Structure 1
Amino acid sequence: MKSFIKAISTYVPSVKITNQDISSKFPEWESEKIFEKIGIKERRIAESDEFVSDMSVKVIQNLITEYKIDISSIDYFILCTQSPDYKLPTTACVVQDRVGLNKSCGAIDINQGCSGYIYGLSLASSLVSSGNFKNVLLVTADMYSKSIHPEDKGNISLFGDAATATLVSSDGEYEIGKFTLGSDGKGAENLIIKNGGTRNQNDCSYGNLDNYLYMNGSEIFDFTAKNVPILVNDNLEQNSLSKENIDLFVFHQANAFMLNFLRKRIGIEQNKFLLNMENYGNTVSSSIPLAFKDSFDKNLDKVMFVGFGVGYSWGAVTILKNKND
């Protein structure tokens, strides 16, 4: 049985952090140079009392309103996040109750980062293709802002908070093609929050940097430069396509410098390569659907999604316009 992306909705918080705001706090970082380096002008971050469950509820409500979705038709709910409300219970269960999903609806969290949308789609697609479920709701929601040290100007400049909701069904706008996935845990320590799990409990002292997000930018760049071109070519081969067949490539919106480097290395035409992050920043698992939302209703026959990052992990999938929809 085939699976399809039927609808996509988005949500971004109201708090806006501009490059000028960052430059005011860190005068050595000129606002214009921030944009030149990473391609971001502003990013949205959650309120102090706003959490992943709140963003998830809001984006699901947006989806229901925008597409007139019958919430009772949803029979499985996947929440992809690395910023859960609690260690337990599962945040998806909290959201299920708050938004009014059926009690017969399955609800799980998956912990995955910048490739999380691809991983989540692979699970949702498999559930629908199995014939056991008709409508799977995939929500991505991350708020790295709550895990960044107040003096970490690099990560403050880079990351934004957002949520997206994607309905995967037995019919819809885009047929979901074949997936290519991979992981390499040898790079785990290059993008990590060391404290907070069972291995390292939180030390609440302000100066303990292990409580906050750490990213080794040069190692992440090297990993990406090596693996993403191979990933794109593998997924093209799996779907029996060439680069010329793809109307739009939507990569994880990491930063503009990295994306332009990858585009040139892979040989993708600029007019087929989506950059849509200057008003959002790097929104982790939400970056691909957030960037693609404005193109969802355009007449694009074939679109490739490419995710990569924390884990290390990577994934790609090609979606094809449903001519019968």
Structure 2
Amino acid sequence: MGDTRLIDEPKVRITSGTSIVGVVSCVPEINVGNDYFLDRFSSEEISDVSKMTGVQSRRRAPNGVRTEDLCFAAANTLLDKLGWERSSVDAIIFMSQTPSHVLPATACKLQSQLELSSSCIAFDVNLGCSAYPYGVWLCSSLINGESLKRVLLLVGDTISSISDPNDRATAMLFGDAGTATAIEYTDSSSESVFVLGSDGSGAANLIVPNSPIYGNVSLDTRLKERDMDKLYMDGGAIFNFTLKRVPALVNSLLTAANGSLDEFDGFLFHQANKFMLNHLCKKSRLPLDKVPMNIEEFGNTSSASIPLLMTTRMQSELSQRRNHIAMFGFGVGYSWGAASVDIGPLKCVETIEL
């Protein structure tokens, strides 16, 4: 089997012996354009938000459609397209901040819905913007350390369900999506490099204040007269965190991977905000032609944004040849994760609607 090890700097991790063999994204068929918000915000307000974020449209899950449903549809399609026997899946990991329930774990429900073996490991991980790099590392580590062969990584969010429709900072920014990634053991893969970290001192800057168990435990004066069951975002604090952390994250990954910019086929960023992404690319001196974006069409899809980029903006490349990819997730937590991985040619890489 492959190996997982720490190297000189503790935050850098290397895995080998695993490959991503397929990715499917599922988005709701309901497409919401900016005009939808004219009953709440002025045209000038909408224009200002759109110029800053870049969002022109986003997919919204209708009532009754959950992250679980989007991820199930993506996983079901992926398993069928790959021809994987359901009994061959050793683990299923569901990563989201909009699960179906506080308990049970959504992964356990999906194990049953997908008719996977009762010996299949199933658990949830509560992460948002950084979830995909973390998830790829976690799946690779499980395969390395637990002698697993095949793992399903399901990553997605329906942030529209927790967004305040009267808060222009969040109502127009987020879109919904669910994804499924198939990762399996291989003895011929190249090494993957990961840089992961967190700083919980910024937790209150992107938060749903109410706890379903403890109620409102926040004393934050910024939340006065807000709906405590809805998402609160301090945009300025998030922007400052991103500008401070992400260029350093890019540099750390490139240094750890011993790679130059020319060696990478794509730099996939969490689709947080178009203005922010353009600034990050300029500051990190990344070639814009290698930085795909889809925030204009899908909005900020939280944990799903990186795999959704793969199935929308890099589908052709990933299906035809091997690509050296750098991916960067950052935000809520605060949490950040980066990965340098070789991906492709994939047997299945597509976007479906539900």
Aligned equivalent of 2:301? 283
Q: 1:257 aligns with which of 256, 275, 278?
A: 275
Aligned equivalent of 1:169? 184
Q: How many Å separate the matches in 2 of 1:178 and 1:99?
A: 31
Kindly provide the amino acid, as one letter, of the partner of residue 291 in structure 2: F
CA contact (8 A) 1:6 1:174 kept: no
> Structure 1: 5+ residue runs without aligned partners?
none
Q: How many Å separate the matches in 2 of 1:60 and 1:29?
A: 41
Using a 3 Å threshold, how does the CA distance of structure 1 residues 31 and 150 change in structure 2: closer, same or farther?
A: closer
1:67 aligns with 2:77: no
Aligned equivalent of 1:156? 171
Q: How many Å separate the matches in 2 of 1:312 and 1:271?
A: 29
Kindly provide the amino acid, as one letter, of the partner of residue 196 in structure 2: L
Per-residue CA deviations over 1:6-62 (Å, capped at 9, x if unaligned) read 110010012221111123442244655443221111111111111122222111112
Q: Please state how far the C-alpha of 1:123 moved relative to its aligned partner.
A: 0.5
1:118 aligns with 2:110: no
Aligned equivalent of 1:293? 311
Q: How many Å separate the matches in 2 of 1:42 and 1:250?
A: 20
Aligned equivalent of 1:97? 112
Q: Secondary structure, in 3 states, of the residue corresponding to 2:297?
A: coil
Aligned equivalent of 2:284? 266
Aligned equivalent of 2:251? 233
Aligned equivalent of 1:51? 66
Q: Please state how far the C-alpha of 1:174 moved relative to its aligned partner.
A: 7.2
CA contact (8 A) 1:172 1:322 kept: no
CA contact (8 A) 1:4 1:176 kept: no
Q: How many Å separate the matches in 2 of 1:200 and 1:297?
A: 47
Aligned equivalent of 1:134? 149
Q: How many Å separate the matches in 2 of 1:19 and 1:53?
A: 26
1:23 aligns with 2:1: no
Aligned equivalent of 2:210? 195
> Structure 2: 5+ residue runs without aligned partners?
3-16, 218-224, 348-354
Aligned equivalent of 2:200? 185
Per-residue CA deviations over 1:239-269 (Å, capped at 9, x if unaligned) read 1112232121000011110100100000001
Q: Please state how far the C-alpha of 1:166 moved relative to its aligned partner.
A: 0.4
Q: Please state how far the C-alpha of 1:65 moved relative to its aligned partner.
A: 3.1
Q: Secondary structure, in 3 states, of the residue corresponding to 1:279?
A: helix
Per-residue CA deviations over 1:281-304 (Å, capped at 9, x if unaligned) read 101100001011241225353110
Using a 3 Å threshold, how does the CA distance of structure 1 residues 132 and 272 change in structure 2: closer, same or farther?
A: same
TM-score where L is the length of structure 1: 0.92
Q: How many Å separate the matches in 1 of 2:320 and 2:246?
A: 26
TM-score where L is the length of structure 2: 0.85
Per-residue CA deviations over 1:141-182 (Å, capped at 9, x if unaligned) read 211111111211221110011001001111399756111001
Aligned equivalent of 1:146? 161
CA contact (8 A) 1:247 1:302 kept: yes
CA contact (8 A) 1:79 1:138 kept: yes
CA contact (8 A) 1:7 1:173 kept: no
Aligned equivalent of 2:10? none
Q: 1:10 aligns with which of 25, 42, 49?
A: 25
CA contact (8 A) 1:175 1:321 kept: no
Greater Cα offset, 293-302 or 231-240: 293-302
Using a 3 Å threshold, how does the CA distance of structure 1 residues 210 and 132 change in structure 2: closer, same or farther?
A: same
Greater Cα offset, 38-47 or 28-37: 28-37
Per-residue CA deviations over 1:109-144 (Å, capped at 9, x if unaligned) read 000010011111111010112251010100012111
Aligned equivalent of 1:304? 326
Kindly provide the amino acid, as one letter, of the partner of residue 39 in structure 1: G
Using a 3 Å threshold, how does the CA distance of structure 1 residues 322 and 291 change in structure 2: closer, same or farther?
A: closer
Question: How many pairs does the alignment contain?
Answer: 321
Q: Please state how far the C-alpha of 1:188 moved relative to its aligned partner.
A: 0.4
Aligned equivalent of 2:351? none
Q: Secondary structure, in 3 states, of the residue corresponding to 1:50?
A: coil
CA contact (8 A) 2:208 2:231 kept: yes
Aligned equivalent of 2:337? 315
CA contact (8 A) 2:89 2:151 kept: yes
Q: How many Å separate the matches in 1 of 2:171 and 2:243?
A: 23
